[in-house]
Amino acid sequence: MRILSWNVNGLRAVYKKGFVEAVARMDPDILCLQETKLQEDQRSQEMINFDTYQSFWDYATTRKGYSGVAVYARKRPLADRCGFGIERFDTEGRVIELDYGRFVLFNIYFPNGQKDDERLQYKLDFYRDFFSYADALKNQGRSLIITGDFNTAHNEIDLKNPQSNKDRSGFLRIERDVLDDIISRGYVDTFRYLYPDTVKYSWWSYRFNARKNNAGWRIDYFFVSEDLMAEKVVQDAFILNEIEGSDHCPVGIELDF
């Protein structure tokens, strides 16, 4: 099974930049999208009934053209839901949960904390409360796959210019400590586990020719519960730098059950 995640920075915009062709090349069984920037009535029929996929959507109810996540899946899950039960987070359209029995998949657009201290705290609260929710499932023996735009680079290897960004949200010590804590609680960053020394990024600013110069950040992840690594279910993890159309590129994992 091949699962991909991609922050498209506007689904309507990326459709004009070769989205259909890119998905055909990548050939995912499940495709998780973040930052769709859509309301329910703004979706085209092509978006809803894309190729042979079932589609699942979550929207921001706070304002239009903001946030939003979607999942395209070839196989229908046993159950699906949006959000994780806390209204201040769920109204921003950031979480889709799909239960496939053997595993539970979360597609998440984690908040950005760069606007001000209030949004930084919102981001930290979101991390805390979501992973409390995830821990409850994991403690029941469920295998979890958590993917999306985490909006945080974990370590210096994960961004081009760590020193000049150490006081910027996205690489603050308090945010990086959260990822340390997640790992200590039994989750594995699949790409870094399999490729501990590989320098590869998943997001580049639109300014300063950042993508051309590969001055990027790795902020898009697949975290899994450690049982999926121990049982060698996760066969590979990858970052598809060659896929364009957004300021992010897709990331993915290969699974064998």
C-alpha–C-alpha distance, residues 47 and 39, integer Å:
12
Please identify which of the residues 149, 158, 189, 220 carries the catalytic annotation: 149
Q: Is 27 a catalytic residue?
A: no
Q: Which two tokens stand for residue 71?
A: 């999942």
Cβ neighbours for 252, distance < 8 A, ≥ 6 positions apart: 2, 3, 4, 5, 26, 28, 222, 237, 238, 239, 240
C-alpha–C-alpha distance, residues 160 and 158, integer Å:
7
C-alpha–C-alpha distance, residues 123 and 142, integer Å:
25
Tell me which amino acid residue 86 is: I
Strand 144-149 and strand 104-109: the pairing is parallel
CA neighbor of 59 nearest in space, from 95, 30, 85, 87: 95
C-alpha distances in Å from residue 11, one per residue of 21, 42, 48, 117: 14, 10, 12, 29
Catalytic positions are 149
